[in-house]
Amino acid sequence: MAEEPGVTHNPDNPSHWHYYAVVGTTIGGGHTLAEFGPHPTALSALQVAVHAVNHTAYSMFEQGVVGHMLADAAMVERLPVTNFTVERQHPVTRAPDAAWSLSGGRRAWGVAAHLTA
């Protein structure tokens, strides 16, 4: 089986996309806090994004997750992650693929019913 050329030999090959978990919060009007990546697959970026929910982006950095802060350090340290987007970016230009993304966040559990006796 022939080996597929690397990104440096074929940078336009879509199999070489990089995936980033971009996390944010809805608290205080909403803020984008950090991006974690690059990840080789959407699944690995999704795993990081889901793990980040209900934690702070700062705690993810403390756990050794590679990424960049996108907000003031005080907000990154203090505010919990409540939502995320997995983005696909070109590995060389870092241009996002506008036709592909995956979003999610913390689920709000409401009271299903009040039972009285």
What's the rounded Cα separation, in Å, for the pair 40 and 36? 12
Domain boundaries along the sequence of the chain: 27-79+95-106
Q: Do 38 and 28 form a contact (C-beta atoms < 8 A)?
A: no
pLDDT number for residue 92: 86
Q: pLDDT by residue (tens digit) across 7-58?
A: 455 555 656 899 999 999 999 999 999 999 999 999 999 999 999 998 999 9
Measured CA to CA, the distance from residue 44 to residue 86 in angstroms comes to 10
Are residues 25 and 80 in contact, defined by beta-carbon separation less than 8 angstroms? yes
Rounded Cα distance, 23 and 88, in Å: 14
Q: How far apart are the first and last CA of the chain?
A: 70
Beta strands 67-69 and 96-105 are unpaired
Mean pLDDT throughout 73-91? Answer: 95
